[in-house]
Structure 1
């Protein structure tokens, strides 16, 4: 099993490999990498439709394991895009995840209390 540090090392190597095989300017590489996220997301949709048997021409053309693999491709593609946007993509992602933890996963009794609404003539009306 790989850990996230190894995953980010692999992403760095993948970015290098992709950059070595591209003659596009850096800005265009970023643009196409961002578009690649959408392409991969479309493959998730195709696999989910196929796993549910909802394409009348193809029937059950995929498995839910195919869907999982496609979701992984979206994640990897996003990681590559982030690394292409910022060479310190791993730290950018870690800070973003920490903000999500602080916002959504911190127990309510440790969060800062909300400030009360102002009272008086300029206070908003209650609904």
Structure 2
């Protein structure tokens, strides 16, 4: 990661804190709404893909593949903010889960690297 790249985890923490300070509801309601927001964002990915593939006869080519990229990023951000709403250990939970998914999909890694 270069010096110009934002730190994903501090960015997620900042967004979570901002949302938390602007949420009108209690913890349970905020959690539910953040989970529902994820479904909304996934729907926007689908809309962008349909538009990029020119598959909506009413709208035509309404989106680009760059729009799809942007919508996918919104899904990732929304999911990580929702995860942060569940646990302050967002990074550790995510990294641990990613390791399990990688091992399940790719098999065990080569083991520790020699020093």
> TM-score category by the smaller chain?
0.7 to 0.9
Which residue pairs with 2:55 in the alignment? 54
Is 1:63–2:81 an aligned residue pair? no
SS of corresponding position for 1:53: coil
How big is the alpha-carbon RMSD for the aligned residues of Structure 1 and Structure 2?
A: 1.8
Aligned length: 108
Which residue pairs with 1:12 in the alignment? 13
Cα distance, 1:67–1:26 mapped onto 2, change above 3 Å? same
Equivalent residues of 2:12, 2:80 under 8 A apart = yes
Partner Cα separation in structure 2 for residue 69 and residue 96 of structure 1: 24
Cα distance, 1:108–1:93 mapped onto 2, change above 3 Å? closer
Which residue pairs with 1:79 in the alignment? 80
List 4+ stretches of structure 1 deviating above 4 A.
107-110
Structure 1 portions without partners, runs of 5+: 111-127
Structure 2 portions without partners, runs of 5+: none
Equivalent residues of 2:103, 2:109 under 8 A apart = no
Over residues 81-107 of structure 1, what are the superposed CA-to-partner deviations in whole Å (9 max), with x where a residue is unaligned?
A: 000011111110000001012211236
Which of these two proteins has the greater Rg computed from alpha carbons?
A: 1
